Structure 1
Amino acid sequence: MKLKSQAQAGTLESSDLMVLIKPLEEGKGRVVAIDSSVKMQYQESIEKAIEEVLDELDVKDVQLHVNDKGALTPVIKARVETAIKRSAGTAEGTLVE
């Protein structure tokens, strides 16, 4: 999926996360930064969830910043997917018309 613009999804409420996404030039790869209140315990799980969504949606060149407040894996995946679709200009499945 080709990203077009910066986008975000989520909140900074407890048990949620804020995802900020920005397209990068082709060939730059994935740059993922994670700030999390549970990073010591769950960093690998958070990274795995993010990578799974990026792989599923075929996103290659992206800068992603995640500010996690203890979100569960399905929430992480949903927020990342929504940010990607908003960035790509695809509103399908994002509750944005």
Structure 2
Amino acid sequence: MIIERQAIAGTLESSDLQIIIDKNDGHGIEIDLQSSVEKQFGRRIREVLMETLKNLKVEDAKVVVVDKGALDCTIIARTMAAVHRAAGITSNYNWEGFEEWNV
């Protein structure tokens, strides 16, 4: 998917995360992660973000994430919502194959 505009998903509530995704034309994926549990889970959070973006075929994006202890399933859902919004897809989300993702 091609990121066309900035989009946001999620909240700053406990057990959630807020993700902002924006264009990053030709510069790959850049992740800015802010998390109170970054030392324990930062590597896993980045891994889930990258795998989800890869599965959605996103190649260039600036991603800012403020994590408040979100589980993997929440990270995936919020990332998918932000990417679809940023790509201009506001309905008919493609959830097919989600169960088979290796995240």
TM-score by length of 2: 0.87
Taking only aligned residues, the RMSD between alpha carbons, in angstroms, comes to 1.2
Which residue number in structure 2 is paired with residue 14 of structure 1? Answer: 14
The percentage of counterpart residues that share the same residue type is 41
Q: Deviations over 1:32-63 (max 9, x none)?
A: 01000110100111011001111001101100
Give 5+ residue unaligned stretches, structure 2.
94-103
Distance of 2:13 and 2:67 partners within structure 1: 9
How many corresponding residue pairs? Answer: 93
Superposition map of 1:39-50 within 5 A: 39-50=38-49
Distance of 1:33 and 1:3 partners within structure 2: 17
Amino acid at match of 2:72: T
Runs of 4 or more above 3 Å deviation:
none
Which residue number in structure 1 is paired with residue 100 of structure 2? Answer: none
> Cα offset for 1:24?
1.4
Distance of 2:9 and 2:36 partners within structure 1: 18
Distance of 1:79 and 1:15 partners within structure 2: 12
> Cα offset for 1:3?
1.0
Distance of 1:3 and 1:40 partners within structure 2: 30
